[in-house]
């Protein structure tokens, strides 16, 4: 199905995003970000263990439940982990009434690695508005499960950093995509997430759904908010039926509570102002500041230009009415730097 949506090229695409440096694709484990308070854990998908983990929590978290044998399936031999690849996506897909230029969002595509971007969240500088849904255009939101009873939050846990929210469920309960998007990873990792799905959304946000007993989607599949991704379970590093749910932006996890009000089982707003504040826990702050009004945060608009075939620094600078040297300085480039198709340049 993926081949019907994407056109692959041999040119390695790069994506600057909103960080200080260009990422380089890496298929090995990502670098850890140091913190004065606690050392964040690596992606569970990229950290394999050969020993059986010990029980790591009291009975108030994720109580042990009997696995339903009719839906649980720990067989790993038939799991297709996909192919590692980097692609410039040049097609458009129809989402609701709109045609989405997929290349505008997905210069980097890797169906095996959760975080292929190699970007430090401590270098995130701007405030940007992520539009989460728009009913007028047929875009909606959906809870990841029918009920959202939280059993473990984002933050430090048993000497590690827990990069998602654990939501209670029973094996076999349906798990849903929270927004419209494209499935980037369907895989199994016995030492971490177990059977899991990662969905990339059109605003750059990515969501991950772990410990599933069964997956019902494939890599490259278009999904809408509310479409079922699989069935809840207890696979991987897990000691009780639950869903591990993550929110990530360009590979870096932040607390889903910035977007979701789980006790009220609703989303906080139709848009989210993403700022460096969501990664304050790496600077010694709290994972989520409930007193902080994200809607009143100061917003600075950033304009990015996607490099097209035949364009140069001179032609792009002229298009936006700035000098070539100013454009190069904004993007930490030399005047002699060679641009790549799909590269994003900051122009304002």
> How confident is the model over 83-126, as pLDDT tens digits?
444 444 445 655 555 565 555 555 678 899 999 988 888 888 77
The residue behind tokens 């895989």 is 187
> How confident is the model over 274-321, as pLDDT tens digits?
988 899 888 887 776 654 444 554 555 577 888 888 899 999 998 888
Q: Above pLDDT 70, what percent of the chain?
A: 64
Cα separation of the two ends of the chain = 38
Q: Choose among 170, 165, 176, 326: nearest CA to 254.
A: 165
pLDDT of residue 230 exceeding 60: yes
Are 119 and 19 a contacting pair, CB within 8 Å?
yes
Q: Which domains does the chain have, with CATH numbers?
A: 2-291 (2.70.70.10), 304-346 (3.10.350.10)
36 burial via Cβ count (<10 Å: 0-12, 13-18, 19+): exposed
pLDDT of residue 2 exceeding 60: no
More confident residue, 332 or 167: 167
Q: What is the pLDDT of residue 106?
A: 56
**Where does the pLDDT of residue 159 fall: very low under 50, low under 70, confident under 90, or very high at 90 and above?**
low
61 burial via Cβ count (<10 Å: 0-12, 13-18, 19+): middle
> How confident is the model over 162-171, as pLDDT tens digits?
889 999 999 9
Residue 102 vs residues 89, 206, 301: alpha-carbon distances, Å: 6, 15, 22
Q: What's the token pair of residue 16?
A: 């600057």
pLDDT of residue 216 exceeding 70: yes
More confident residue, 198 or 297: 198
More confident residue, 155 or 316: 316
* Mean pLDDT taken over the chain: 74
Residue 216 vs residues 175, 181, 187, 247, 303: alpha-carbon distances, Å: 10, 15, 12, 20, 38
**Where does the pLDDT of residue 210 fall: very low under 50, low under 70, confident under 90, or very high at 90 and above?**
very high
């Amino acid at each position: 199905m993926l081949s019907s949506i994407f056109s692959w090229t041999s040119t390695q695409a790069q994506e600057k995003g909103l960080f200080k440096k260009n990422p380089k694709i890496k298929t090995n484990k990502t670098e850890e970000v140091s913190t004065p308070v606690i050392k964040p854990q690596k992606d569970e998908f990229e950290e394999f263990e050969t020993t059986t983990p010990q029980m790591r929590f009291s009975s108030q978290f994720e109580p042990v439940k009997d696995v339903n044998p009719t839906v649980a399936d720990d067989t790993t031999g038939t799991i297709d982990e996909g192919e590692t690849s980097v692609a410039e996506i040049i097609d458009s897909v129809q989402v609701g009434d709109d045609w989405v230029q997929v290349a505008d969002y997905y210069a980097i595509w890797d169906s095996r690695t959760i975080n292929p971007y190699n970007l430090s969240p401590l270098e995130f500088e701007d405030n940007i508005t992520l539009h989460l849904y728009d009913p007028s255009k047929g875009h909606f939101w959906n809870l990841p499960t029918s009920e959202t009873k939280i059993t473990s939050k984002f933050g430090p846990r048993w000497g590690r950093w827990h990069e998602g929210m654990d939501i209670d469920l029973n094996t076999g309960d349906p798990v849903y995509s929270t927004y419209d998007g494209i499935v980037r990873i369907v895989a199994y990792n016995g030492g971490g997430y177990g059977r899991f799905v990662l969905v990339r959304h059109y605003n750059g946000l990515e969501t991950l759904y772990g410990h599933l007993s069964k997956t019902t989607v494939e890599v490259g599949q278009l999904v809408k908010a509310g479409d079922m991704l699989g069935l809840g379970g207890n696979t991987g590093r897990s000691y009780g039926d639950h869903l591990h749910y993550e929110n990530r932006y360009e590979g870096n996890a932040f607390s889903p509570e910035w977007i979701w009000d789980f006790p009220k089982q609703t989303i906080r707003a139709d848009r989210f102002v993403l700022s460096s504040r969501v990664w304050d826990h790496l600077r010694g702050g709290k994972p989520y500041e409930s007193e902080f009004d994200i809607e009143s945060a100061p917003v600075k608009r950033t304009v990015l230009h996607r490099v097209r075939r035949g364009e140069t620094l001179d032609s792009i600078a002229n298009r936006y009415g700035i000098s070539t040297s100013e454009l190069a300085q904004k993007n930490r480039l030399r005047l002699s730097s060679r641009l790549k198709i799909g590269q994003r340049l900051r122009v304002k």
